[in-house]
Copies of this chain bind each other. A is one copy, B any other.
């Protein structure tokens, strides 16, 4: 039985824009977050509080959070790698702190030069401080369906990271197909295993469309009862592992899917298409959303709304 209602977590302003080569103006980021929340997205990943030496694109996280209008009920999330990041996020009045870990040892070693277990243990102070401050804590588990370095990632490895993140007190845990290699059967297997150790209704699916499988995987995840999905307007972000390839699944495509399935999202698709057009123009790139492109083309052509 697929759910009647899902929450869509919009990750474009953070996960998307972080992968942009050029710095996107703070005012553009603020407008993007504001327009997304107004379109009905209840959770917007808005910034990273990471070292600007590592991720210069996100150096203005404080200014972005200071500049946005806070829509009541909307959760504004930020990514924090350490206590310094947490302090910045707290000061900026973020609603949700996002920590992260890989399900792949090879990825963890290559990316942050330590084991999965060590990387998660390092988040203990952040997790504790987040809970003490009364904020929401979310964990993102990367490479849950495959790794650019080691290939296959065992289901047991994903479950192990879910359990570690659960022990840190996470309110929500993302199962992320960072490189988009997953297909529906494996997606269901991993989500079913994860939901045996963590409440299914607080697991989310974060799918990349690199191999064109994201919508299939999301449908498969719905069949597993998953109720939270990540997406990036206009497919912002691309794929850092394959030049010119697709990255995050586009929010427009996900909302189109949910509308077709009669699943409530609270998101206005027309507004979302406009936002996709706005940000694509702002960064000077074509939208990677197929639904976005089709709906925009129809609108420009004045075509009947039934197409």
A interface residue numbers (CB < 8 A to B): 146-152, 179-186, 209-213, 215-216, 218-220, 239, 241-246, 250, 252-253, 256-257, 259-262, 289-291, 293-295, 297-298, 301, 303-307
Pair A211/B291 contact, Cβ less than 8 Å:
yes
- Can you list 27 pairs linking A and B with CB atoms under 8 Å apart? A146-B307, A147-B306, A148-B307, A149-B306, A152-B306, A181-B260, A183-B256, A183-B257, A184-B260, A185-B260, A185-B261, A210-B291, A211-B253, A211-B256, A211-B294, A211-B295, A212-B253, A212-B289, A213-B253, A213-B257, A213-B260, A213-B291, A216-B218, A219-B220, A242-B297, A243-B301, A246-B290
Given A181-B307, A242-B294, A246-B290, output 19 extra A-B contacts at Cβ < 8 Å: A147-B306, A148-B307, A150-B306, A152-B306, A180-B294, A182-B260, A211-B291, A211-B294, A211-B295, A212-B215, A212-B253, A212-B256, A212-B257, A212-B289, A215-B216, A216-B219, A216-B257, A243-B297, A245-B294
Q: Which one of B148, B250, B301 lies within 8 Å of A212 (CB-CB)? A: B250
CA distance in complex: A261, B290 (Å): 24
Pair B303/A148 contact, Cβ less than 8 Å:
yes
Q: Which residue of B lies closest to A294 (CB)?
A: B245
Closest 10 CB pairs of A and B: A183-B260, A151-B306, A212-B253, A212-B290, A242-B297, A245-B294, A215-B216, A211-B291, A216-B219, A148-B307
